C-alpha cells in the first residue's frame, strides 16, 4: 500500500495512478531538459502507444496556382518588364520567380510556425505553473528517506533523462532526414528535368547523322557545282570562239561585199579609163609637139632673162652698197613690202592658172623684198659696229680722264719732290741718281700720256667718220624710202590691172564651172601646185625689175585666154553632142580638163618644169602599159572574186547552221541555268532550315547550360543553408554550460528531496505519507521498452547511412552529366562553326555566279553597242567615199579643221620670229662674262687722297665706289650765306 497526504490534492485526482505518475515524471523531467524535448514528451503521453519515427514528405505546393495568384504582384510585373526589355533571359526570369515563390512560401511557413509557437508558449506557461505547484507540494516531504520506491523513482528519473536525450537525438536526426529528403526530392526533380544520357546520346547521334548527311550533300553539291563550272567555262570558251569566228566571218563578208561591189563596178570603169587614156594619149602627143615649140620660145626668153638678170644683179650690187647704211626706216620699208607681198599673194590667189608672166613679176618684187631684207641685215650689222665703236670711244675717254688725273697727281708729286730737293743739301750724289730716275719716270709718263692723246685723236677721227657714215646712211635711207613709196604706187597700179584681169578671168570661170568643181575635188593636185607656186615665188624675188616684160607677157596671157575660150566653145559643142553620155564620161572629162590645165601651166613653166613634164609624159606612157596589164590582172581577179563569193556563200550557209546550233545550245544552257538556279534556291532553303535547326539547338544547349548553372547555384545555396542550419544547432559548449546549470539545479533538488524525505520519514508528522493509486512497473517491462527504443535508433541510423550513399551516387551522376554537357558544348560549337563556314562559302559561290552572269550580260550589251557603232562608222565611211567621188570634202568639219591647222602654223611662225628678234636685241646687252646689263660703264680705278709722295691709281673692288653727284643747275645760282657779325 502507498500513503497519501490529505493536504496535497491535485485537480487530476480522478485519473489513474499510472497517469499521475507519468505526469509527475514528466514534470520532474522537464525541469532538466530543453523546451523541444518537453514539447515532444508532452505530445507523447503514453509510451506504449509510441510508433516508429518516419520522415514526413514536405508539403507540395501547386506552383501553377501560386503563379496565377502571384502573377499580379509588382515583383512579377517588374520581372516581365525586364524580360521584355531584354535585360533578363527566360531561364533567369523563371529562376527568380521560383526563388521569389520559395521565399514567399518560407515566409508563410515562418508565420505559421510563429503562431504555433505562441500557442505552445501559452501551453508551456500553464504547464510551468503546474510544475511549480507540484514542486511546492513536494517541498513538504521529509528529508533523507530512502525507500524502495524512492530508489525506483531515481532509476525512473535516470531513464527518463536518457530517454529525453535519445528523443533529442532522434529529433535532430529527423530534422536532418527531412532536410536530406527535401534535397533528395529537389535532386530528383532536377534529375527528371535533366535528360538521360541515353536520350542525349541518341540526339547527338541523330545530329551527327544529319551533319554527315549535310556534309555529303554539300560535297555532292560542290562536286556538281565544280562540274557545272567546268562545263560553263567550256561553254564560255566555245561561245567566245564562236563569237570571234562569227565576227571574223562578218568582217570577211563585209570586205568581200565591198570587194564585190568594187569588182563589179571595176570593168565598166576600166573600159571608161581605157577610152579616156586613149584620148589622153592622142591629146598628149599633140600637146608635146606644141610644148616643144613653146619650149624653144621659152629658151629664147630665158636667154633674154639671164641677160636682164645680170643687169639686175649689177644694179642690186650697187643698191646693196647704198642700203648698207640704212637704220631707222627699215621697219617702214618692211611694212610697205609686206603690204605689197600681201597684195601680190592676193593677186596670185586670183590668177593661179595661165598667168605665169604675172608670177614672174611677183617673183621680181619678192627678189627686191629679199634684197631689202639683206640690206636691212647689213644695216643692222653696221649699227652693231657703230655701237661697238661708241663703246670703245667711251672706254677711251674714260681711260683718257684717268690718265689726266694720274698726270695731275704725278705733277703734284714732282712739285713736292722739287721743293724737298731744294730744301736738301746738294753735295750728296745719291740725290742726283734719284733725280735722274725720277726724270726718267716722268719722261715715260709723258710719253704714255702722248700715246693716249694720239689714240684719243684717232678715236675721235673714227667717231667723226662714223657720224658722217651715219648721215650718209640716213640720206640713202630717205632715198630708199622714196623708192619704196614709188614701188608701192607701182604695186597699186599693178594690183588695179590685176583686178581687171581677175574680172575677165571670173567671166571665164563662170563658163568653166565644171572645171572648178573638178578643181575642188583634186585637193592633192592643188597642194602640189602650191608647192610649185612657192618655188616660183622664190624665183619671182629675182625678177623685181621685170614689170616691162610682164606687160608684153600680158598680151600673151590674153591670147591664151582666147585660146581657152575657143577650147571651151569646142567643149560645149562636144557636150551638146554627148549629152546622153555625160554621166559615163564626166569623170573622163574632169581628168582630161585637169590634164589640159596642167599642160597649159607646164607650158609657161621654167626649164626645170620642162624636164618634169617630159618625165610625166613617160610616166603616162608607162601608166597606160600598166593599165593594160592591170586590166588583164583584174579580169583574173574578177574570176577569183567570183570564186571567193561562191565560197563565202557556202561558208555563210555553214555559219547559219552553226548559228542555229549555237542558238539551240544557248536556249538549252538558259534552261539548264534556270534549273540550276531553282535547285540552288531549294538548297538555299534547305540550308536555311538547317540553320534554323542549328540555331534552335544552340539556343536549347544554351538554355540547358543556363539550367545547369542555376542548378549548381541552387546546390551551392542549399549547401550554404545546410552549413547555416548546422551552425544554428546547439553548440557543445552551450550545452555543457546548460548541463552544469542543470546539475547544480539537480543537486539543489536532491538536497531538497532529501529534506523532503526526512520530513516524510519523520514519524511524528502525521501528514508525511500520501498513498498513491495504481501499480509500479516491473524492471523487465522497462528493459523491454529500452530494447525497443534501441532497435528504433539502429533502424534510423541505417536509413541515414543509406541516404548518405544515395546522395554520393547522385552527386557523382551529376558530375558526369556536367562533364558530358561541357564536352557536348564544344562539339556543338565546332559543328555550328563548320555549318556557318559552309553557308558563307555557298553564299560567296552564289554571289560569284550572279556576278559572272551580270558580267556576261554587260559584255553582251557592250558587244551589241560596239557592233552598232561599227555599222554606223561603216555607213559614215561609205558616205565619205561617195562625197569624195563627187568632188566634195568627206565632211563639213574637215575643211574647218584644216583651216585651223593652217592658222596654228602661222601663229607658231610669228611667235618664233618675235622670239628670234628678242634674242637678237638681247645680244647687245650681254657682257663678255655672260652678264646682261643696261647700265653705262663705270670707272674701274681711283686716285688715293693720302699725302703720299707718289700716288698710284688703285683698282676698285667688287663694289661700285661712292661718288657724290655734281651740283645741279639750281645750286650754281645760290651763294653761300655770309654770317653777320655779332654786335655787342
Q: HEC states along 729-778?
A: CCCHHHHHHHHHHHHHHHHHHHHHHHHHHHHHHCCCCHHHCECCCCCCCC
Q: Answer whether residue 886 is part of any domain.
A: no
pLDDT at 806 exceeding the cut of 80 = yes
pLDDT at 16 exceeding the cut of 60 = no
CA distances from 836 to 63, 212, 783, 825, 830 (A): 41, 15, 79, 16, 10
The Cβ of residue 837 has, within 10 Å, a number of other Cβ atoms equal to: 10
pLDDT of residue 889: 73
pLDDT of residue 739: 80
Rounded to an integer, what distance in angstroms lies between the CA atom of residue 557 and that of residue 505?
Answer: 11
- Give 398's contacts (C-beta < 8 A, 6+ positions apart): 937, 939
pLDDT at 878 exceeding the cut of 60 = yes
pLDDT digits (tens, 9 = 90+) for 405-436: 766 766 676 676 667 656 655 444 555 666 67
Domain of residue 426, residue span? 324-499+511-554
Confidence of residue 960 (pLDDT cuts 50, 70, 90): low
pLDDT at 68 exceeding the cut of 50 = no
- Give 548's contacts (C-beta < 8 A, 6+ positions apart): none
Whether 5 and 768 have beta carbons less than 8 Å apart is answered as yes
Among residues 103, 123, 143, the one where a domain terminates is 123
Among 389, 566, 552, 404, smallest CA distance to 460 is for 389
Q: What are the grid coordinates assigned to 922, written together?
A: 638681247
Average pLDDT over residues 660-673: 78
Longest dimension (CA), the chain: 211
Among residues 90, 123, 156, the one where a domain terminates is 123
The larger pLDDT score, comparing residue 57 to residue 107, is at: 107
pLDDT digits (tens, 9 = 90+) for 192-225: 766 666 777 777 777 778 778 777 877 777 777 7
Whether 326 and 480 have beta carbons less than 8 Å apart is answered as yes
pLDDT digits (tens, 9 = 90+) for 210-268: 778 777 877 777 777 788 778 777 877 777 787 777 777 777 777 776 776 666 666 66
Q: Answer whether residue 159 is part of any domain.
A: no
Rounded to an integer, what distance in angstroms lies between the CA atom of residue 494 and that of residue 491?
Answer: 5
Whether 828 and 701 have beta carbons less than 8 Å apart is answered as yes
pLDDT at 750 exceeding the cut of 50 = yes
pLDDT at 945 exceeding the cut of 60 = no
Whether 820 and 200 have beta carbons less than 8 Å apart is answered as yes
pLDDT of residue 24: 41
pLDDT of residue 47: 40
Confidence of residue 51 (pLDDT cuts 50, 70, 90): very low
Q: Answer whether residue 249 is part of any domain.
A: no
Whether 241 and 591 have beta carbons less than 8 Å apart is answered as no
Q: Answer whether residue 104 is part of any domain.
A: yes
pLDDT digits (tens, 9 = 90+) for 316-360: 566 556 556 555 555 665 665 566 566 666 655 655 555 555 555
Q: Answer whether residue 105 is part of any domain.
A: yes
Residues forming beta bridges with residue 941, ordered by sequence position = 955
pLDDT of residue 21: 41
Top mean-pLDDT range of 440-444, 567-571, 626-630, 746-750: 746-750
Give the total number of structural domains in the chain: 2
Q: What are the grid coordinates assigned to 962, written together?
A: 661712292
Among residues 70, 100, 123, the one where a domain terminates is 123
pLDDT of residue 301: 66
pLDDT digits (tens, 9 = 90+) for 268-324: 666 666 676 677 667 766 766 776 676 677 667 666 666 766 665 665 566 556 556
Classify residue 541 by its DSSP letter: T
- The b-or-e profile of 354-375 (16+ CB within 10 A means b, else e) is bbbbbbbbbbbbbbbbbbbeeb
Confidence of residue 43 (pLDDT cuts 50, 70, 90): very low
pLDDT of residue 55: 37
Among 312, 308, 310, 289, smallest CA distance to 300 is for 308
What percentage of the chain carries pLDDT values higher than 70?
A: 59
Classify residue 890 by its DSSP letter: S
Place of cell 540550276: 676
Rounded to an integer, what distance in angstroms lies between the CA atom of residue 908 and that of residue 914?
Answer: 10
The Cβ of residue 740 has, within 10 Å, a number of other Cβ atoms equal to: 10
Q: Answer whether residue 384 is part of any domain.
A: yes
Rounded to an integer, what distance in angstroms lies between the CA atom of residue 877 and that of residue 881?
Answer: 6
Q: CA angle at residue 936 from 403 to 466, to 5 degrees?
A: 75
Average pLDDT over residues 665-682: 77
Torsion of CA 810, 811, 812, 815, to 10 degrees: 120
- Return the H-helix or E-strand segment holding 941: strand 941-942
Average pLDDT over residues 756-767: 72
pLDDT of residue 281: 67
Average pLDDT over residues 158-162: 79
Average pLDDT over residues 539-565: 70
Among 622, 613, 560, 588, smallest CA distance to 288 is for 613
Average pLDDT over residues 784-813: 84
The Cβ of residue 108 has, within 10 Å, a number of other Cβ atoms equal to: 11
Confidence of residue 42 (pLDDT cuts 50, 70, 90): very low
pLDDT of residue 544: 59
**Mean pLDDT score across all residues of the chain:** 71
pLDDT of residue 201: 75
Q: Answer whether residue 429 is part of any domain.
A: yes
The larger pLDDT score, comparing residue 818 to residue 869, is at: 869
The larger pLDDT score, comparing residue 590 to residue 946, is at: 590
Q: Answer whether residue 404 is part of any domain.
A: yes
Q: What is the DSSP string of 682-732?
A: HHHHHHHHHHHHHHHHHHHHHHHHHHHHHHHHHHHHHHHHHHHHHHHSPPH
Q: What are the grid coordinates assigned to 724, written together?
A: 547555416
Q: What is the DSSP string of 660-690?
A: HHHHHHHHHHHHHHHHHHHHHHHHHHHHHHH
Average pLDDT over residues 911-921: 85
Strands 3-4 and 770-770, how do they pair?
antiparallel
Q: What are the grid coordinates assigned to 814, written together?
A: 551529376
For 484, phi and psi rounded to 5 degrees? -65, -40
Rounded to an integer, what distance in angstroms lies between the CA atom of residue 679 and that of residue 315?
Answer: 105
Rounded to an integer, what distance in angstroms lies between the CA atom of residue 258 and that of residue 324?
Answer: 68
Identify the weakest region by mean pLDDT among 138-142, 375-379, 482-486: 138-142
pLDDT digits (tens, 9 = 90+) for 479-513: 777 776 777 677 777 777 777 777 777 776 677 67
pLDDT at 392 exceeding the cut of 60 = yes
Amino acid at each position: 500500500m502507498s500513503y497519501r497526504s490529505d493536504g496535497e490534492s491535485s485537480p487530476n485526482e480522478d485519473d489513474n495512478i499510472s497517469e499521475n505518475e507519468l505526469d509527475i515524471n514528466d514534470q520532474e523531467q522537464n525541469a532538466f531538459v530543453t523546451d523541444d524535448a518537453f514539447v515532444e514528451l508532452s505530445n507523447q503521453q503514453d509510451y506504449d502507444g509510441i510508433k516508429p519515427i518516419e520522415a514526413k514528405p514536405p508539403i507540395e505546393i501547386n506552383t501553377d496556382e501560386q503563379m496565377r495568384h502571384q502573377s499580379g504582384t509588382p515583383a512579377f510585373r517588374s520581372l516581365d518588364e525586364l524580360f521584355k526589355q531584354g535585360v533578363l533571359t527566360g531561364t533567369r526570369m523563371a529562376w527568380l520567380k521560383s526563388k521569389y515563390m520559395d521565399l514567399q512560401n518560407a515566409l508563410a511557413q515562418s508565420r505559421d510556425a510563429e503562431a504555433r509557437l505562441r500557442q505552445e508558449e501559452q501551453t508551456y506557461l500553464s504547464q510551468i505553473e503546474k510544475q511549480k505547484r507540484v514542486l511546492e507540494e513536494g517541498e513538504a516531504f521529509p528529508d533523507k528517506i530512502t525507500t524502495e520506491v524512492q530508489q525506483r523513482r531515481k532509476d525512473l528519473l535516470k531513464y527518463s533523462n536518457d530517454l529525453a536525450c535519445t528523443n533529442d537525438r532522434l529529433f535532430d536526426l529527423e530534422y536532418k532526414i527531412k532536410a536530406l529528403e527535401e534535397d533528395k526530392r529537389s535532386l530528383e526533380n532536377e534529375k527528371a528535368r535533366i535528360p538521360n544520357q541515353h536520350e542525349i546520346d541518341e540526339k547527338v547521334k541523330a545530329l551527327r547523322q544529319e551533319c554527315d548527311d549535310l556534309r555529303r550533300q554539300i560535297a555532292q553539291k560542290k562536286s556538281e557545282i565544280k562540274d557545272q563550272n567546268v562545263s560553263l567555262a567550256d561553254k564560255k570558251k566555245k561561245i567566245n570562239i564562236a563569237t570571234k569566228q562569227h565576227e571574223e566571218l562578218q568582217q570577211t563578208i563585209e570586205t568581200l561585199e565591198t570587194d564585190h561591189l568594187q569588182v563589179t563596178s571595176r570593168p565598166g570603169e576600166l573600159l571608161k579609163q581605157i577610152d579616156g587614156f586613149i584620148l589622153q594619149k592622142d591629146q598628149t602627143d599633140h600637146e608635146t609637139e606644141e610644148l616643144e615649140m613653146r619650149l624653144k620660145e621659152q629658151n629664147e626668153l630665158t636667154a633674154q632673162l639671164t641677160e636682164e638678170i645680170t643687169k639686175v644683179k649689177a644694179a642690186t650690187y650697187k643698191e646693196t652698197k647704198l642700203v648698207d647704211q640704212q637704220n631707222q626706216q627699215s621697219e617702214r620699208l618692211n611694212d610697205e613690202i609686206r603690204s605689197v607681198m600681201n597684195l601680190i599673194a592676193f593677186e596670185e590667189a586670183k590668177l593661179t592658172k595661165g598667168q605665169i608672166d604675172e608670177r614672174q613679176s611677183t617673183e621680181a618684187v619678192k627678189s627686191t623684198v629679199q634684197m631689202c631684207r639683206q640690206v636691212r641685215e647689213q644695216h643692222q650689222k653696221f649699227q652693231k659696229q657703230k655701237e661697238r665703236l661708241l663703246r670703245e670711244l667711251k672706254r677711251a675717254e674714260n681711260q683718257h680722264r684717268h690718265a689726266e688725273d694720274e698726270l695731275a697727281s704725278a705733277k703734284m708729286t714732282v712739285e713736292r719732290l722739287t721743293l724737298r730737293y731744294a730744301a736738301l743739301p746738294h753735295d750728296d750724289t745719291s740725290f742726283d741718281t734719284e733725280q735722274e730716275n725720277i726724270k726718267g719716270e716722268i719722261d715715260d709718263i709723258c710719253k704714255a700720256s702722248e700715246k693716249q692723246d694720239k689714240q684719243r685723236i684717232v678715236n675721235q677721227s673714227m667717231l667723226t667718220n662714223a657720224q658722217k657714215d651715219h648721215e650718209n646712211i640716213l640720206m640713202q635711207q630717205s632715198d630708199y624710202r622714196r623708192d619704196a613709196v614709188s614701188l608701192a604706187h607701182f604695186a597699186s597700179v599693178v594690183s588695179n590691172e590685176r583686178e581687171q584681169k581677175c574680172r575677165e578671168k571670173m567671166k571665164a570661170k563662170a563658163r568653166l564651172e565644171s572645171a572648178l568643181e573638178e578643181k575642188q575635188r583634186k585637193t592633192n593636185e592643188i597642194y602640189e601646185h602650191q608647192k610649185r607656186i612657192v618655188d616660183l615665188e622664190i624665183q619671182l624675188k629675182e625678177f623685181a625689175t621685170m614689170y616691162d616684160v610682164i606687160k608684153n607677157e600680158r598680151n600673151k596671157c590674153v591670147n591664151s585666154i582666147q585660146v581657152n575660150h575657143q577650147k571651151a566653145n569646142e567643149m560645149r559643142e562636144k557636150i551638146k553632142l554627148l549629152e546622153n553620155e555625160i554621166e559615163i564620161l564626166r569623170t573622163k572629162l574632169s581628168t582630161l580638163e585637169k590634164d589640159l590645165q596642167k599642160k597649159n601651166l607646164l607650158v609657161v613653166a621654167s626649164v626645170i618644169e620642162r624636164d618634169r613634164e617630159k618625165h610625166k609624159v613617160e610616166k603616162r606612157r608607162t601608166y597606160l602599159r600598166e593599165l593594160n596589164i592591170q586590166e588583164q590582172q583584174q579580169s583574173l581577179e574578177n574570176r577569183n572574186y567570183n570564186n571567193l563569193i561562191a565560197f563565202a556563200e557556202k561558208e555563210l550557209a555553214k555559219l547559219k547552221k552553226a548559228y542555229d546550233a549555237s542558238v539551240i545550245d544557248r536556249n538549252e544552257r538558259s534552261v539548264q541555268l534556270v534549273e540550276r538556279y531553282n535547285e540552288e534556291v531549294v538548297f538555299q532553303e534547305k540550308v536555311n532550315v538547317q540553320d534554323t535547326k542549328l540555331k534552335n539547338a544552340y539556343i536549347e544547349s544554351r538554355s540547358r547550360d543556363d539550367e545547369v548553372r542555376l542548378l549548381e547555384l541552387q546546390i551551392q545555396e542549399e549547401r550554404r543553408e545546410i552549413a547555416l542550419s548546422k551552425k544554428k544547432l546547439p553548440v557543445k559548449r552551450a550545452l555543457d554550460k546548460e548541463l552544469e546549470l542543470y546539475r547544480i539545479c539537480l543537486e539543489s533538488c536532491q538536497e531538497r528531496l532529501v529534506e523532503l524525505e526526512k520530513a516524510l520519514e519523520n514519524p511524528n508528522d502525521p501528514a508525511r505519507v500520501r498513498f498513491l493509486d495504481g501499480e509500479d512497473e516491473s524492471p523487465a517491462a522497462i528493459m523491454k521498452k529500452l530494447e525497443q527504443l534501441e532497435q528504433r535508433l539502429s533502424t534510423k541510423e541505417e536509413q541515414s547511412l543509406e541516404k548518405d550513399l544515395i546522395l554520393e551516387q547522385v552527386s557523382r551522376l551529376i558530375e558526369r552529366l556536367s562533364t558530358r554537357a561541357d564536352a557536348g558544348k564544344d562539339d556543338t560549337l565546332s559543328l555550328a562553326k563548320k555549318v556557318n563556314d559552309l553557308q558563307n562559302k555557298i553564299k560567296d559561290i552564289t554571289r560569284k555566279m550572279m556576278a559572272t552572269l551580270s558580267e556576261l550580260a554587260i559584255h553582251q550589251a557592250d558587244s551589241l553597242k560596239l557592233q552598232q557603232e561599227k555599222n554606223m562608222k561603216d555607213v559614215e565611211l561609205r558616205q565619205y567615199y561617195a562625197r569624195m567621188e563627187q568632188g566634195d570634202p568627206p565632211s563639213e568639219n574637215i575643211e574647218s579643221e584644216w583651216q585651223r591647222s593652217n592658222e596654228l602654223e602661222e601663229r607658231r611662225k610669228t611667235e618664233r620670229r618675235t622670239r628670234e628678234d628678242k634674242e637678237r636685241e638681247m645680244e647687245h646687252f650681254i657682257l663678255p662674262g655672260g652678264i646682261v646689263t643696261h647700265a653705262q660703264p663705270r670707272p674701274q680705278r681711283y686716285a688715293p687722297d693720302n699725302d703720299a709722295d707718289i700716288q698710284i691709281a688703285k683698282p676698285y673692288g667688287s663694289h661700285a665706289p661712292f661718288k657724290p653727284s655734281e651740283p645741279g643747275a639750281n645750286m650754281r645760282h645760290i651763294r653761300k650765306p655770309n654770317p653777320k657779325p655779332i654786335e655787342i
